[in-house]
Amino acid sequence: MSSSSINACLEAARKADAPIIIQFSSGGSQFYGGKGLDNTNYRAAIAGAVSGAFHVRTMAEQYGVPVILHTDHCAKSLLPWIDGLVSASERYFKVHGEPLFSSHMIDLSEEPIEENIDICKDYLSRMSKMGILLEMELGITGGEEDGVDNSDRPIEDLYSKPEEIHQVYEELMPISNLFTVAAVFGNVHGVYSPGNVKLEPKILARAQEYICEKLGDKAPEDKKPVLFVFHGGSGSDVTDIQEAIGYGVIKMNIDTDTQWSYWEGIKNFEAKYHDYLQTQIGNPDGPDKPNKKYYDPRESMRAAELQTVKRLEQSYEDLKCLNILGLGETSAENVLGPRRGGLPV
Ligand SMILES: [Zn+2]
C-alpha cells in the first residue's frame, strides 16, 4: 500500500476503461502514513488513510476514472480507526457535500450476531446520511490476512446461513439500502495449494431465494435483494467468480495476487539487471560504468507497477467489467487546476 500501488490501480482502471475500488486495510493505512509513526489509538492508521484518500481523489481526476474509496476489515478492536475516518468524512462533507470515503467495512463476524447487527445499525445510520456504503461480514473468511489468522477455524464457520443473511437484511433495510454483505461461502484470504475448503457460490443463490420467499410480493424484480461481497478473490477459479457474480456479488477483493504481481515485477527486474545492481559503479559494460539508472528505486518500482497493471487487467476480464466507461482509446489526461473535491481546502 503506497502511492505507487495506488497509481498502478488507477493506470489499470484507465487501461480497462472501467471504474475501480481502492481499499485500505488498517495495516495498509498505517504503512501509508509511515511505520515510524506512533500508532497509539490508530492515529497513524487514521492519518495514513486520510492521506491516501487525498492522493486517490487528486490523482483519479487526472486519470479520468471513477474510484470507490473503501476500507477493509475492521474488527471490534479497530472501531476507533473507522471512527476517525467517519469523522474525517463528516468534516469533508461540510465543505464539499460529499464524504471523503465512499464505503467502509465493519467486520464483527467474531462477535455474536445480535451485537454485530446492532453496531452495524449505528454506523449505517451515521454513514448513510453522507451516502457512505457499509459492508458487513457474516461468518468467517478463512486463511490469514493483515495479521488475522483464521486458518484453524471449524469448517462450518466458513459458510454463511440464509437465515442470518435474512436477519441482517430485515434489520438494516429500514435504516438504508446502502449496505453490502460479505457472506462467506468457503472464501479464504491468501493463496494456498488446493485444500479442504471449497468455494460454494450456490450458498449465495440459496440466501437470495430464501429472502425472496420471505419478502413475497415485496421481493425485487431481479430476485437479488442482497448485494454480496466476495472476499479472498486471489487464486479463485474464474468459473467460481462468474458464478458468484450471477448470484448478486457486486464486489470482489483481490490482495494476495496483487502483492505477488508487485513483487514479481521487482523480482524479474532484479533477475534481468542483476549484474548492474551489485555496486554503484562497475557493470558488464565496464569497470567505470555507473549503475544509477538501474538502482534508482523508481526503476524497480515501475516494473512492479507494470506487472500489477497486467494482473489487474486479468481481474477486469474475470469480473466482466472491461470497456464499460466508454473512454475508448484516449489516454489519461493531466487536468490542471483544482476541481471539486480534488485537493484539500
Ligand atoms: Zn477479506
Q: What is the mean pLDDT of the chain?
A: 93
What would the pLDDT profile of 209-257 be if each residue is shown by its tens digit?
A: 999 999 999 999 999 999 999 998 888 899 999 999 999 999 999 999 9
pLDDT of the residue at 345: 43
What the block records as the C-alpha cell of 265 is 515485477
The Å distance, Cα 13 to ligand 1 centre, comes to 21
* Residue 144 φ/ψ, nearest 5 degrees: -140, 130
Considering the chain, what percentage of its residues have pLDDT values greater than 70? 96
Active site residues: 72
User: From the CB of residue 265, how many other CB atoms can be counted at a distance below 10 Å?
Assistant: 23
Separation CA 73–CA 243 (nearest Å):
24
Question: Tens of pLDDT along 67-117?
Answer: 999 999 999 999 999 999 999 999 999 998 999 999 999 999 999 999 999
Q: How does pLDDT run across 132-176, given as a tens digit for each residue? A: 999 999 988 888 887 788 877 777 778 899 999 999 999 999 999
Higher pLDDT, 296 or 156: 296
pLDDT of residue 196: 61
**Do residues 338 and 96 lie in contact, with contact meaning Cβ atoms separated by under 8 Å?**
no
Quickly tell me which residue has 437479488 as its cell: 224
Q: Which residues contact 303 (CB under 8 A, 6 or more apart)?
A: 265, 266, 268, 269
Q: Find the 73 Cα to ligand 1 centroid distance in Å.
A: 6
* C-alpha neighbours within 13 Å on the C-beta side of residue 151: 10
Q: How many CB atoms lie within 10 A of CB 158?
A: 23
Q: What string of DSSP letters covers 52-121? A: HHHHHHHHHHHHT--EEEEE----GGGHHHHHHHHHHHHHHHHHHSS-S-SEEEE--TTS-HHHHHHHHH
Report d(CA 149, CA 266) in Å as an integer: 27
For residue 152, the model assigns a pLDDT of: 78
DSSP letter assigned to residue 172: H
User: How many angstroms is it from 254 CA to the middle of ligand 1?
Assistant: 9
Cβ atoms of 211 and 223 closer than 8 Å:
no
Only one residue has cell 437465515, namely 163
If you measure from the C-alpha of residue 184 to the centroid of ligand 1, how many angstroms do you get, rounded to a whole number?
10
CA neighbor of 203 nearest in space, from 138, 150, 252, 148: 138
d(CA 43, CA 290): 42
Question: pLDDT tens-digit profile of 270-291?
Answer: 999 999 999 999 999 999 999 9
User: Residue 194 has what pLDDT?
Assistant: 67
Ligand 1 centre to CA of 289 (Å) is 47
Pairing between β-strand 20-24 and β-strand 103-106 as defined by DSSP bridges: unpaired
User: Sorting pLDDT into bands at 50, 70 and 90, what band is 341?
Assistant: very low
pLDDT at 338: 58
